[in-house]
Chain A
Amino acid sequence: MAVITMREALNQAMREEMQRDGNIFLMGEEVAAYQGAYKVSKGLLEEFGDKRVIDSPITELGFAGLGVGAAMAGLRPVIEFMTFNFSILATDQIINSAAKMLYMSGGQFKIPIVFRGPNGSAYQVSSQHSQAMESWYAHFPGLKVVMPSTPADAKGLLKSAIRDDDPVIFLEQERMYGIKGEVPDEEDFTIPLGQADIKREGTDATIVARSLTVPLALKAAEELEKMGVSCEVIDPRTIRPLDIKTIIESVKKTNRVVVAEESHSFCGVGAEISAQIAEQAFDYLDAPVRRISGADAPMPYAKNLEKLALPDVEKIVAAVREVAYLD
């Protein structure tokens, strides 16, 4: 297996899918000539030409809606947001058009579109450029929401997302484009949407983590192992549809849960997972579900405050110790 970066894995996924299907095009700000603000689309313009790799004006509502319309007429757009902060301008087209078109047309118009780009915190870019949007999109039936945490997951899930006939919100993480990992060499490697992955098996506590918090949870699990606590780390990978079954199975085994996320906690994905655990596995819990989330404040600029606002290994370790009644 080749060891590549997250960025390269995403690039491979798009390249391979575009080679396979001429109806796929990539549109977004700086995706073509500039090769992508985060270089995820590097080389695609050269290979596929400006008919299929298209620099858009800074007009998020416009090109998101253009993508949905193109999907109605039979194309399979991949729409890149330079960051998902800017997708807020496009939410009318994502939520009112993409998510509902199949339903309100009585099943006539599928919208096979992927909206992708970096989500979550970056480095010291303050409030408007550092926020995690998954709970917004996961809230609405009609959308699928994907959040990979490894290069292999990124590649396999993006290929599935592009092949999917429904609109998919594909959330990459701004801080994770450079992380490396093994990616299977097989030509048609895909990972189905809606399947969680057990990133580490354990018996004493379950940590449900996604995107940025998965490497943090794994590091926390290593440290907890030294303290005699065996942690299972589950990455749902897809927020919608959510593989709650895998999480519940783990809870039944460990009886203790920590959800780690960088998004705000209020009305968040962690809140949803906690609620479903309470509904489906209440009797198996030996402690209340504990959430480690981003601070309930806009992201600050100052380095020390930014660090305080985000989940980290220490916070996850402390939370697991808390649900294990070790302190």
Chain B
Amino acid sequence: MQLIFKSMSELKVIPMRPRGKDEPPPPNSNFNGQAEVTDAIDPIALKQEHEQRKSEQQERIEDTERETLIGMLRQMILIRRFEEKSAEGYSLGKIGGFCHLYIGQEAVAVGAMAALRPDDYLLTSYRDHGHAIAKGMSAEEVMAELYGKAGGCSAGKGGSMHLFDGDINFLGGHGIVGGQIPLATGVAFATKYKGTDQVTLCFFGEAAVNQGAFHESLNMAQLWKLPCIYVCENNQYGMGTSLERAMSLQDVSQKACAYDIASEFVDGMDVLAVRDAVGRAVKRARESSLPSLLEIRTYRFMGHSMSDPGNYRTRAEIEKHQERDPVKLFTQNLKEKNLIADAQLADIEKSVREEVERTVQFAEQSPEPAPEELYTHVYSTVSSEQ
């Protein structure tokens, strides 16, 4: 399956419309008549579309401060290198359990966070390393958590899937598909209740859209006008099951119309497109206390988790998507716009590699949790040992 973006839509409410008696159902892959998913790929059309996407990103680059752009690039590179190091740590047996990498999806977390205020809330799924780093969590504490060390952001009790940092309102990686969606709805409920203007960003994969939790949450969010932004990172596979094998109506963004919620389809390989789309949703949430649903189309270059053999998709398919590698795309555009030179890029790579090395050193040196930690934090006030 390949994806062709014809054009992007602005954030809006798609009105529900009863289908005429003789009218055929819309093709599953149509998004608002504008984007199309098709198996039969026309290489020329695809190339043209990529060119168009590229020029759109260049336009966005022109509208953005150089320092901001370089900062975003560095974050994307940091997440990429961090994840590569995580894979290495996993292979060495330093990291255990489930480890879900974010490689390929970096533009989503970095773009989204660029539209947030530091005090805004974020919840995500178990594929959470990238969001945590983008939100501002110490990469050292993230790595220490993956290592199961006391210096980890969750004291070594959560692991890869359960990163938390209350100081930056990072309310967790959550391990049950879709489980974070009602939670995020509740966080947004709380901010509205308390009268703050914080917004809550909730990330989930497209497979979570099939869960009841998604539908129950969107219903409540619009019913009570909660400032929650539901960000579906559509990486096109729920573990090893492709979107079209799992979802009857594959346009996730269109599902918002069932709840009268504004939605938008976004190119998740363009970090600035993500920033702008999330920015529009943030404005809606902050100023009007309204929810939004964003479907951000992306692709993970690695397996579902480190133990994924990946035999459900072809190498060619992955390579096709890698042509629009978000880090590469952004780097090229910045270069073409003369905003970054090779030497500076090398400096960024070098400083990122050093930073990632420091995370490993920190994790290695951090002690294991003390045995008595087994029974702490079961309850807030008493030990669970009876």
Residues of A within 8 A of B (CB): 25, 51, 54, 56-57, 59, 61-75, 77, 92-93, 96-97, 101-110, 141-142, 144, 164-166, 194, 241-242, 244
Contacts and interface: CB of A to CB of B under 8 A. Distances in A.
**5 closest A-B pairs by CB:** A69-B186, A65-B182, A106-B155, A62-B216, A73-B190
B157 A104 contact: yes
B191 interface: yes
B96 to A, nearest CB: 15
B358 to A, nearest CB: 21
B212 A69 contact: no
B115 interface: no
A105 B154 contact: yes
Contacts of B384: 141
A106 B164 contact: yes
Given A62-B220, A70-B186, A96-B175, A108 B378 contact: no
B189 interface: yes
B171 A109 contact: yes
Contacts of A63: 182, 216, 220
Nearest to A111: B380
Interface string B188-218: 1111011000000000000000001100110
Contacts of B382: 194, 241
17 contacts: A57-B220, A61-B213, A69-B183, A72-B183, A93-B179, A96-B179, A97-B179, A101-B172, A102-B378, A103-B378, A105-B162, A105-B172, A105-B377, A106-B377, A166-B381, A194-B382, A241-B382
Q: Which residue of A65, A69, A105, A109 has the most chain B CB atoms within 10 A of its CB atom? A: A69
Contact of B220 (A59, A75, A93, A244): A59
Contact of B154 (A70, A75, A106, A110): A106
A105 B158 contact: yes
B155 A107 contact: yes
Nearest to B193: A75
A169 B378 CA distance: 15
Query: By CB atoms of chain A within 10 A, which of B162, B190, B191, B219 has the most?
Result: B190
Contacts of B162: 104-105
B164 A109 contact: yes
Contacts of A244: 386
Interface string B369-386: 000000011111110101
B191 to A, nearest CB: 7
B185 interface: yes
Contact of A70 (B190, B213, B377): B190
Contact of B186 (A67, A106, A165): A67
B210 to A, nearest CB: 14
B176 to A, nearest CB: 5
B80 interface: no
A142 B378 contact: yes
Nearest to B163: A105
Given A70-B190, A97-B179, A105-B158, 18 more contacts: A62-B185, A63-B182, A65-B216, A66-B185, A66-B186, A70-B186, A74-B190, A75-B193, A96-B179, A97-B174, A102-B378, A105-B157, A105-B377, A106-B153, A106-B154, A106-B156, A106-B377, A241-B382
Nearest to A65: B182
Nearest to A242: B386
B166 interface: yes
Nearest to A106: B155
Given A65-B186, A66-B189, A108 B217 contact: no
Contacts of A75: 189-190, 193-194
B363 interface: no
B182 A69 contact: yes
Contacts of B121: 73
B232 interface: no
A208 to B, nearest CB: 16
A56 B223 CA distance: 10
Contact of B157 (A97, A103, A142): A103
A65 B185 contact: yes
A63 B153 CA distance: 28
A100 to B, nearest CB: 9
Given A72-B171, A166-B379, A166-B380, A61 B164 contact: no
B302 to A, nearest CB: 24
A69 B213 CA distance: 13
B187 interface: yes
B379 A69 contact: no
Contacts of B164: 104-106, 108-109
A96 B176 contact: yes
B377 A107 contact: yes
B185 A69 contact: yes
A165 to B, nearest CB: 4
Contacts of B157: 103-106
Nearest to A95: B176
Nearest to B181: A65
Contacts of B156: 106
